[in-house]
Every structure is written in C-alpha cells, then in structure tokens.
Structure 1
Amino acid sequence: MIFSRIIGKGAARPLLAAAALAGVFTMLPEQAHAEDFLTQGNANILWTLIAGILVMFMQAGFACVEAGFTRAKSAGNIIMKNFLDFGVGQITFFLFGFALMFGIDAGGGFIGGSGFALSNLGLDYDTLAGFDYTFWFFQSVFAATAATIVSGGIAERTKFSSYILISIVVTGLIYPISGHWAWGSLNGAESAGWLESMGFMDFAGSTVVHSCGGWLALAGAMVLGPRLGKYGPDGQANAIPGHNIPLGALGVFILWFGWFGFNAGSTTTADNTIGLIAMNTSLAAGAGVIGAMATSWIRYGKPDMSMTMNGALAGLVGITAGCYTVSPFGSIVIGLIAGLLVVLSIEFIDKVLKVDDPVGAVSVHGTCGAWGTIATGLFTVPGLNGGAGGLLYGGGIGQTITQIVGVAAVFVWAFGLGFIAFSIIKAIFGLRVSEQEEMAGLDIVEHGSESYAGFQIFRTE
C-alpha cells in the first residue's frame, strides 16, 4: 500500500514498480554494500537497545519477587532498594564500573581497566558512535541486576543508608572486576581478561552476573545474621512466609519476559541466533518449573508455590551461560537439574548452614548460576555458534575444567571481597537495624510510611 502511494496510480503502477526494482538491482556493488552495512548497524543498535530496555524492566520483576516473598511491613523498603540499585548503580557504573570492566588492562587481564574515565576506554564523547552509547546502556542494566540480587538475600533487617554503600561497591568495583575477567574483550581484543583468555564461556552471565550477585548475597546474609524469630533456641529453622505470593508470581513472569532481552540481547547483533537463544531460554525456564515443582512435591507432599516460582528463575539462571551454544534438548536438561538444585540448595542453606536468605537469592543465582556455567562445559554442541564441544559431546574435559576455574574464581572474589566490604560497613556505619525497628518493620522506621496504609497488620513475633 505504501509502495503504491509512492510510485503512482492506475495502469502506470506496474511500469513504475518494475523501474524501481530495476534501479535496485542495478545498484553499484559499493552502494549496495554501504546500504547493507548501514541497515545492519542500525538493526544492531535497535535490537541491543530493545534488549537493554527489557533487562531494565527486570528490575520491576525483582522488586515484585522480593517484596512478595517477604513481609508486608518491609515491602516498601524492598522497593526502595530496587530503585536505589538502578539509580545509584547506573551512575556509579558510569563513573567507575564501566571503565574497570571494559578498559585496557594494566595488569595482564587480571586486575581490571587501567583508569576511571571514559577516555581510558578509547571512548571520547567527541567520537562516540551510536552503538557505543547503546553498548554502555546494555551493560549498565546488567550491573544493576547484579546489585539487585543482593538486596533479596539481606532483606528485612538492613539499614537503608548502609545499603547505599553496598550498592556503590557492587556496581563500581566488585561486579566490574570479575566481569572484566570474563567479558573484557567485548570492548576490543586488547581488553580481554584472564578467564576469557583461558577460553571461559559465559555467554550472558550465569556466573558473571548471577553467581556474582548470589555470592555477595551469601556474604551479606552471613555478616548480618538471621531475622528475629528465624531460628529457635534449638537451632530449628522457622518458616517466615512471604506476604503476597501472587505479587511474587507476577515478578517471576516479568523476569521470564525480560530474560529474553538478557540472553538473546547479549548477541548485541540482530542475527539468526536470537531465535535459538530465546527458545533455549524459555525451555530451560519451563523445565526449571517442572524440576522444582516435582522435587517439592516429593519432599513436602504438595507442590510448593514459592519453590516452583524459584524453579522458573533457577532454570533461567542456569541456561544464561550456555544459551548460545547448547541445543534445545540440552537446555531442558540444564533447566530440569537447576529446578532440582534450587530446592535442595534452599534447604541446605537454611537448615544446615543456618543462613537466612528470605527469597532464596543465594540458591537461585549463586548455586544455579554455578551449575549453568559448569553445564556449558558439558552440553556445548560442537560447532554450534563456534562452540568447541562439551564433555558429553566428545569434546574432552578441558572446557569443563575451565568452567569450574571460572566459577571458583568469581566465588572467591565476590564472596571474599563482599564479606570484607560488609564487615567494614558494619564496623564503621552499622549494618543492621535494632530489634525494635526490625519488629516494627523497615517501611515505618526507615522511610516513614507504610506500603499498605489503612490495612491492619497483625504481627505474630
């Protein structure tokens, strides 16, 4: 219809259309190549920008999951921390984190970028191209995601003022350094980190983003200690149910939706691989639902709602590393095992380690992120998008060992430095609210308002 309006009306249309097509097919090769290049470049910018926007919307998903899985009296505090992670986190990543993550390394690929300014990245505001802006935006929402994972693991008892410092440290230092190890060359081959140089594979961040955030959450929960009433005098773990499971379910669906940007957008190119990545991503999430639902059903006698929802997230986290190089069948296996693991991990951390993780952040992101990264070394299909072949496809054990090294390195870095950072903040500024404030709820004592004004909340502790 539009083409007809352009070329004319009536009997002249076929002749004019033929002339127009002839002009296209007689275009000089140089002209055609230039137009293809411009079209593909714009498509890459558009696809990566849309994917980044989808990842940004995941912040809403995290907020809903964390708020729904915790108590009503601190729901607003959870929302505030998610706003903080995206607001303060983006500014911090702009000023410091991006340079450390993608700068030219002065330490042989180990330490991080050599400076703290965009000019150190070879990016000058006078010469920035369209995709440079888009690439920064896409990476910034990943940094905010890593920080937000931490908030759920330390929910309901953390000082908001101290959490600001935590968010800054995560997005400005801890995440960018380990991110540089695995992804430094995304800004140029000379920026490659040491894990990347070893052949470490983590396409969209099972370890780089999710395990990093999960291990930080573990460190924070250990330094903080459990919520009041979580463990009895005999050490028995007491369940503290979330106040709004439907809100948590909405958050899981939002995260599932945004994950298509998280994984498929990591191509940063609008090419023919994004369909496979989206397919693998959704299949793994579905398998995670089944794995967690079945495991909880067997262990508890009924299919647990929160475990099943965490199973979907476990499958998504698990497939994030290998979504580009595994088959759809492999993604189902990875997601199914992730769903099983998340239930067992939540139980182990809660009942054996006695670490209070209100939303299961350590298990979903830390444990299942590690599993997904190692699974990439097992299930990578030879030749699929450059994959060398996993152990189960006859590729040998070398890649799996490299994956384990990467998982261990990020654990030592994120948990170790996170534990130190939390301990320093605790010693200098204080990390935890008082018992009276925790009992009253963080919405009132930290922010001066209620999330559910006009509703009477009955407390049992």
Structure 2
Amino acid sequence: MNAGLDVFYLLIGAAMVLAMHAGFAFLEAGTVRSKNQVNALVKILADLGISTLAYLIVGYTVAYGVTFFHSAAVLSGKAGIDGAMGAQGIDLVRFFFLLMFAAAIPAIISGGIAERARFVPQLMATAILVGLVYPFFEGIVWGNHFGIQDWLKDTFDAPFHDFAGSIVVHAVGGWLALGAVHHLGPRMGRYSRDGRLMGVPPSNIPYLALGSWILIVGWFGFNVMSSQNTATASGLVAMNSLMAMVGGMLTALVVGRNDPGFTHNGALAGLVAVCAGSDVMHPLGALVVGCAAGALFVWGFDRCQKDWKLDDVLGVWPLHGLCGLLGGILAGVFGLEALGGMGGVSPWSQLIGSLAGVSYAGAMGFVVYGLLKRTVGIRLSQEEEHRGADLSIHQITATPEQDMAP
C-alpha cells in the first residue's frame, strides 16, 4: 500500500514539474519578439525530448549508478535483482521526477540565448549538459559521490543541504547560461554603436504572465514532492514556498516600479531562492529570503543589460544563477535553530557547496559553448536573425494567416 501511494505521490509531482516546462515556454514566448515565438515553444519541447534520452542512457547512471537495461519485470520490482528496483515501479517514477529537474537545465538556458541561437547546436549542448555535466554535480550532492558530503559533515557538522535544487538545478542552469550568453554576444540592435541600450519590447505580456503562473503552480510539486515519498512530506515546504514567492513578487513590484516583467519574474526569484532550505526554514525566514531574491533579480537584470552589456534575454543568470546562489547560502542562515529553523545545516557547508556549484557550472558553460562555437557555430547569421528564428529555422511564424494576408 505504501509503495503504491508513493508511486502516485511522486507521479503527481513529476507531472507538475513537467507542466513547468510549458511555463518556461510561454515565459520565453511572451518575452521575445513575435518573430521568435515559434522557436521558443519548439525549442523547449525539443530540449525535453533530447534531455529524456540523454538522462536515460547516460545521465541517471552518472548521478546515481542506476541503469535501465533490465527486463520490464526487473524494472517494475517484480523479479530479478534483489534491491535493484523498488516495488511497483517506484524507481521508474523517481527517474521521471528527477528527469524533469535535469530537463530544466536547457529550459533555463533557452531564455538567455533566445532570438539568435542556432537550433541543432543547442540540442547538442542539451545532450552534453543533461547527459554528463549536470549529473556529475547532481551525483555529488544528491548521490553522495566522492565522499564530499561526508567530508563537509565531518568538518562542519552538516553536509551541504539543497532540498529542492536552488544550487543543483537553478544556480547550475543559470551559471551554465552565463557562458552561453557570453559566447553568443548581444542580439542585433540591442546596443547602439556608442554602447547605449536600445529597447526591445516583449511581444506578449499575457503570455509572459501565463508562463509565470504555470511555473508558480508547478513549483509546489517541484519543492514539496522533493521529499520523494509520503512519509517525509511536509507542509512546511509548501508554506515556505508560498512565503518566498510572495516576498519575491512584492519586492520586485516595488523595486521594479510596477514593471510587469519584474513582478512576474520576482515571484519566480523567490521560489528559486527558497528551494534549498524550504524544508528547514521558518516561514518568516522564507519571506526574508524571497524579498532578498526579488530585489537581487531586479538589480542583477538591470546591471546585466545596462552596465555589463550581457544580453541575457529573460534574465536567467540573475534569476536562476544569482538568486539560486543566494538561496543556497541563506539556507545555512535561516535554517539554523537560532533563527527559528529546523537546524541540521551549517553556514560553512552551504557557502562551500554553493560556491563550488556555481564555479563548476560557470566553467563548464564557457567550455561547452566555447567548443561548440569553435566547431559547429552557435549563432544564426545576420540575415537569419533579422528574419527571425521562426522563419529561419521552422519556416512558419506564430501568426501565419495574418502574415499571408495582402
């Protein structure tokens, strides 16, 4: 009975995180110009397909040492190797759930490289990142590889704590995107010859808002179901996720001066930051973390676009990279019993683990996209970029009937 309940519980969580990929798609489709909307939607779905194959064949084995090259009877836990697979296919549903986390990596990167990235090279990058790069770090944190977590526990009395992936998923995805955005360079016309920022308005604010709402709802599966079984499920995770989301949204609303993009992304910034410590923080601590993340996102997005000339279209590095880093570190502060948390965390372990994660991801982002740039090329030609990725790659626009009208 418990096994069946856990299968159902984790399946619901996996489906909720799967739905988040629609959120990524519509958030990007609403932010980019209309000539790139089709590409945004196709790219997220194609990345999901490539991610599934890469994680099934290579990635899950790298992270957890589990393979699926057994009979269906063994995979479902009915026959074969003792202890290899749990009853009623629980390990298969666990793979589904963790695959959705892995597939979030290219979905995050997609928003940063929008409007000028070639399609096939990005799918190649997805296979490398989801098959090898992401699972390597995932295995260290969640698979206890190389004894690093044991060393942190012995040295600082607690391992690195990342309950739902502020660092493992979001910061890694955001810092991988930094290398991709750097190698691609800014979009045509984003900056004038004298370096002034030129406005590129989003195509569809309702799409952007819809994407944010889908992500917000799915995030409660992302966070709460990270317990991976009903025995350890906690309402505290849901409450902390809610408080961080509200804190991020309201702070971005104020700091961003009512800008709808900042408001909708500010909610996501709070959710990114709270993932790591959502199971150990007090709700008021989660609120503070969310507020800090909302302000950090607005500041980081403005600095990237205006001062650093980093044309990160959706602001995925400040949103996932910086806010994820903030959340990983603050889990070691607001998770402490002295601040109303559950305890079992160490500020030093959180600092070391968080910095190690972003350093690794940042380096790999520059390496992977740098190699692809040198070998196959990663950017559309000027003519293709001017026409838009929809026509250049997919030969159709988001509104073909209107476009064909005389």
Normalising by structure 2, what TM-score?
A: 0.91
Contact 2:281 2:342 in 1 (8 A): no
Relative CO higher for 1 or 2, CA cutoff 8 Å, sep ≥ 6? 2
Contact 2:253 2:263 in 1 (8 A): yes
RMSD: 2.0
Q: Give the structure 2 partner of residue 357 of structure 1.
A: 312
Matches within 5 A, 1:309-458: 309-382=264-337, 387-388=343-344, 399-456=346-403
2:185 to 219, 225, 231: 225
2:267 matches 1:308: no
Change (3 A) 1:410 1:124: farther
Q: Give the structure 2 partner of residue 52 of structure 1.
A: 14
2:243 matches 1:283: yes
Per-residue CA deviations over 1:79-119 (Å, capped at 9, x if unaligned) read: 1110112111011100000011112xxxxxxxxxxxx8447
Change (3 A) 1:192 1:278: farther
* Cα distance in 2, alignment partners of residues 83 and 149 from structure 1: 13
Change (3 A) 1:68 1:196: farther
* Cα distance in 2, alignment partners of residues 400 and 229 from structure 1: 44
Change (3 A) 1:256 1:192: farther
Task: Give 1:387 deviation, angstroms.
Answer: 2.7
1:248 to 208, 218, 222: 208
Contact 1:288 1:312 in 2 (8 A): yes
Report the residue type matching 2:395 in the other structure.
G
Report the residue type matching 1:224 in the other structure.
L
Determine which structure has more spread, i.e. the larger CA radius of gyration. Answer: 1
Report the residue type matching 1:176 in the other structure.
P
Task: Give 1:274 deviation, angstroms.
Answer: 2.7
Contact 1:150 1:213 in 2 (8 A): yes
2:108 matches 1:149: yes
Q: Give the structure 1 partner of residue 117 of structure 2.
A: 158
* Cα distance in 2, alignment partners of residues 193 and 204 from structure 1: 21
* Cα distance in 2, alignment partners of residues 442 and 197 from structure 1: 48
Task: Give 1:283 deviation, angstroms.
Answer: 1.3
2:143 matches 1:184: yes
Contact 2:17 2:100 in 1 (8 A): yes
Contact 1:292 1:308 in 2 (8 A): yes
Task: Give 1:242 deviation, angstroms.
Answer: 1.1
2:2 matches 1:43: no
Change (3 A) 1:61 1:193: farther
Task: Give 1:158 deviation, angstroms.
Answer: 0.5
Q: Give the structure 1 partner of residue 31 of structure 2.
A: 69
Per-residue CA deviations over 1:356-382 (Å, capped at 9, x if unaligned) read: 011111111001000011110110043
Per-residue CA deviations over 1:216-253 (Å, capped at 9, x if unaligned) read: 11110000000001111111222212100110100101
* Cα distance in 1, alignment partners of residues 312 and 128 from structure 2: 21
* Cα distance in 2, alignment partners of residues 276 and 326 from structure 1: 8
2:227 to 267, 271, 278: 267
Report the residue type matching 1:387 in the other structure.
G
| Structure 1: tracts of 5 or more residues without a match | 1-38, 104-115, 186-190, 298-302, 390-398
* Cα distance in 2, alignment partners of residues 124 and 402 from structure 1: 38
Change (3 A) 1:52 1:192: farther
Contact 2:179 2:362 in 1 (8 A): yes
Task: Give 1:413 deviation, angstroms.
Answer: 1.4
Change (3 A) 1:174 1:427: same
Contact 1:183 1:193 in 2 (8 A): no
Change (3 A) 1:101 1:141: same
Contact 1:195 1:406 in 2 (8 A): no
Identical amino acids, percent of aligned pairs: 36
Contact 1:180 1:193 in 2 (8 A): no
Contact 1:184 1:192 in 2 (8 A): no
* Cα distance in 2, alignment partners of residues 319 and 135 from structure 1: 22
Contact 2:270 2:294 in 1 (8 A): yes
Report the residue type matching 1:264 in the other structure.
V
* Cα distance in 2, alignment partners of residues 435 and 206 from structure 1: 36
Contact 1:183 1:192 in 2 (8 A): no
1:294 to 254, 267, 271: 254
2:61 to 52, 76, 99: 99
Contact 2:335 2:341 in 1 (8 A): no
Contact 1:118 1:124 in 2 (8 A): no
2:50 to 78, 88, 101: 88
1:204 to 144, 164, 182: 164
* Cα distance in 2, alignment partners of residues 203 and 431 from structure 1: 34
Per-residue CA deviations over 1:16-62 (Å, capped at 9, x if unaligned) read: xxxxxxxxxxxxxxxxxxxxxxx322222211111011000000000
* Cα distance in 2, alignment partners of residues 266 and 197 from structure 1: 24
Q: Give the structure 2 partner of residue 8 of structure 1.
A: none
Matches within 5 A, 1:20-35: none
Aligned length: 386
List structure 1 segments (4+ residues) > 3 angstroms apart after TM superposition. Answer: 116-120, 123-127, 383-386
Change (3 A) 1:239 1:205: same
What's the secondary structure of 1:234's corresponding residue? coil
